[in-house]
Structure 1
Amino acid sequence: MKLMGSGIRLSKHLVALAVLCIGSVSLAACAKDEPPAFPEGSWQQRMGKIRAAVRGDEADPAFAATWSGYRSHLQAVTGLPVETFEASDYNGVIQAVASGQVDFALLGAGGYANVDTQVGSKALPFLLVRQAEGNTGYYSALAVRTASPFRILADLKGKTIAYIDFNSTSGYIYPRHELIKQGIDPERFFAKSIMAGGGTQALLAMMNGRVDAAMITVSAGTPETGFATGNHVSLARRGLINLDEMRIIWTAGPMPNSPYVMRTDRPQAFADVLRGALAMLPYEKPDVWASMGQAPGNDFHPVSRADYADIMAIRAEDISQRRSGSGE
């Protein structure tokens, strides 16, 4: 599965667009704690603030750093306060976007597919993060404990597995689709499955012996070269696991990176500014970009609904199978 075209790296021309669109902001007011003055009828006055939905994870310090970076950057560019609404699970973010409670959000591909079935073109993807190597996709990975006897997928027949979430692309929807393509019915192959609620929780459930295997998310690499980022790397950096105590025995992918999704019933000027403000971040504020956990060379890449057509079809197929009782 590939995203359409290699595209052009978003850079300076969008910086100019963002600056032009917000030229009416009172810089003196923005430099202080006083509310900025906006022209009557401007998009800033009409919106009053920018609202983003995020899936919160108080246990992961990278979460706080990432969204603190976005808040400070967008507030500086637009002069508007930025509020982030934290949801405890994937569905909370999905419903916040679908109901229009927020203006934009970072969603998994499967989460966006869910939103699309609810509101269609009222919410559309517009950017994703591209790695320095040019990759715009990531992988599902099946992890087991190094001390276990499991070395290939077939070894897990009749064993237990932790998925991430029903709405997780890499942690449920996509790998199950790939298993079925290989002639494996996940419902009969595994003796038991649980929904851990997140990649961190799934991996810890496996490492703690609650299940035999965990479906996790990995990126910045390939099955042949290994992966530089993922749930396992994040936990290792926090000292919660040792990488030599686990191994990956199966992967599926790549699938398109998680999209930033925007409500389209907002002012067009806001859409232009948001797109430009995010695109300029890696170039104009590399220190902030790095503090958000992004590697040097990572940037944003434009996407559209068409880039997620395959994921939409896979999700629809999975739901159909589960309803009919042939899949889950």
Structure 2
Amino acid sequence: MKPSNILKLSTAAAIALTASTPAFADWRADMGTYNIGLLGGENESDRLRRYDCFADTMSEALGVPVELFPASDYAGVMQGLLAGQLHQAGLGASGYAGIYLQDPDAVSPILTTKNVDDSLGYYSVIYVKSDSDAQSLEDLEGMSLAYADPNSTSGYLVPRAELAAAGIDDATFFSGTGFGGGHEQAVIAVLNDQYDAGVTWTSLMGEESEGYTRGNLRRMVDNELLDMGDIRIVWESKLIPNGPTVFRNDLPEEARDLAVQAMLNLKENDPACYSDTVGGEGNGFAEVDHSFYEGIVAMREAEMAASR
């Protein structure tokens, strides 16, 4: 057995033995495992590797085993939360909006990632290969575009809405659009000439050659899947609110409080694990609520109404 697993089990046993009230232990016995959903967007082995330390941290904080559930797409995590199969997940703002519009009582956004300067936003960008003739958004007319995922904020909802606001109908402006199957997969599709351009997310802070401080580009550079010299960004969105960590509303209050506190302490207690978990550099987590995402909820609701 790995040392981390021994520590996880011994911590859980110690908490159970020293519980002072029956209620303290009851939710642990009823829960069995604490289930955390992981969004798609990068290959499964990299996701599990990045979140292994986070699972150990959460298990030690909660006193129960933690299971990670990497979904193949955003919808898998959303449905897991709606069905009560997952207790917690990190989502994009559009993913949260999609859940809220189906069942406003299912989950609540509690935390979001702070950037290195304590700001709470990021950008959607459209990129092309560096040898492409396209130098700007206007140059993409007649070319093909890969969105990331239909439930992605930066990889679909926001760029499509901002293009429409600028008078661009993606169905006629581009020669064709499609979904890459996630942010990482869409970049690879562009690099392999399956699409002329793609959409992804980034902080646009820090060194460009490193993929900036945080985002899909940073993860791909860190995983040696991308050289930033191979792509060029030709468009960027307005600032988008960083996605939330959401918790099921029927989660026992104590369990939620322990999980939230563990995350708030993560950067100080284990900076390397924090970096792996958020996919780059940041300055901890900030507490948020539904009001932080009302604009994205309205945008998603409008997009859903237009597609009916």
TM tier, shorter chain? 0.7 to 0.9
Match status 1:140 vs 2:124: yes
**Which residue of the other structure, out of 189, 192, 203, is the alignment partner of 2:173?**
189
- Specify the SS of the correspondent of 2:150: coil
Write the distance in 2 (CA, Å) between the matches of 1:294 and 1:197. Answer: 19
Match of 1:242 in 2: 227
TM-score (norm 1): 0.82
Change (3 A) 1:145 1:294: closer
Instruction: Compare 70-79 and 227-236 and name the one that shifted more.
Output: 227-236
Instruction: Compare 296-305 and 307-316 and name the one that shifted more.
Output: 296-305
Match of 1:101 in 2: 85
- Specify the SS of the correspondent of 1:41: helix
- Identity %, equivalent residues: 32
Match status 1:149 vs 2:137: no
The aligned length equals 297
- Specify the SS of the correspondent of 1:128: strand
Task: Tell me if the contact between 2:124 and 2:199 (Cα under 8 Å) persists in the aligned partners.
Answer: yes
Write the distance in 2 (CA, Å) between the matches of 1:208 and 1:164. Answer: 15
TM-score (norm 2): 0.87
Task: Tell me if the contact between 1:65 and 1:292 (Cα under 8 Å) persists in the aligned partners.
Answer: no
Cα deviation for residue 74 of structure 1 reads 1.1
Write the distance in 1 (CA, Å) between the matches of 2:54 and 2:124. Answer: 27
Match status 1:41 vs 2:23: yes
Write the deviation string for residues 155-204 of structure 1: whole angstroms up to 9, x where unpaired.
11111000001101000001111111111111111110111111111111
Task: Tell me if the contact between 2:148 and 2:156 (Cα under 8 Å) persists in the aligned partners.
Answer: yes
What residue ranges of structure 2 are gaps of 5+ in the alignment? 1-6
Write the distance in 1 (CA, Å) between the matches of 2:218 and 2:42. Answer: 18
Task: Tell me if the contact between 1:30 and 1:36 (Cα under 8 Å) persists in the aligned partners.
Answer: no
* 1:47-196 equivalence runs, <5 A: 47-56=31-40, 59=43, 62-196=46-180
Task: Tell me if the contact between 1:62 and 1:293 (Cα under 8 Å) persists in the aligned partners.
Answer: no
Task: Tell me if the contact between 2:62 and 2:255 (Cα under 8 Å) persists in the aligned partners.
Answer: no
- Report the RMSD for the aligned CA atoms in angstroms: 2.7
Task: Tell me if the contact between 2:155 and 2:200 (Cα under 8 Å) persists in the aligned partners.
Answer: yes
**Which residue of the other structure, out of 22, 30, 44, is the alignment partner of 2:10?**
30
Match of 1:316 in 2: 301
Change (3 A) 1:151 1:185: same
Match status 1:304 vs 2:289: yes
Cα deviation for residue 44 of structure 1 reads 2.5
Write the distance in 2 (CA, Å) between the matches of 1:84 and 1:277. Answer: 16
Amino acid at match of 1:40: P
Cα deviation for residue 267 of structure 1 reads 1.5
Match status 1:271 vs 2:256: yes
Write the deviation string for residues 46-97 of structure 1: whole angstroms up to 9, x where unpaired.
3233111112567366522332122100111221111122211110000001
Cα deviation for residue 220 of structure 1 reads 4.9
Match of 1:3 in 2: none
- Specify the SS of the correspondent of 2:103: helix
Amino acid at match of 1:48: G
Write the distance in 2 (CA, Å) between the matches of 1:321 and 1:28. Answer: 49
Answer 1 or 2: higher relative contact order, Cα 8 Å, separation at least 6: 1
Write the distance in 2 (CA, Å) between the matches of 1:209 and 1:184. Answer: 23
Task: Tell me if the contact between 1:55 and 1:89 (Cα under 8 Å) persists in the aligned partners.
Answer: yes
Write the deviation string for residues 293-317 of structure 1: whole angstroms up to 9, x where unpaired.
6656520001101111110111111
Cα deviation for residue 32 of structure 1 reads 8.5
- Specify the SS of the correspondent of 1:206: helix
Match of 2:218 in 1: 233
Change (3 A) 1:232 1:288: closer
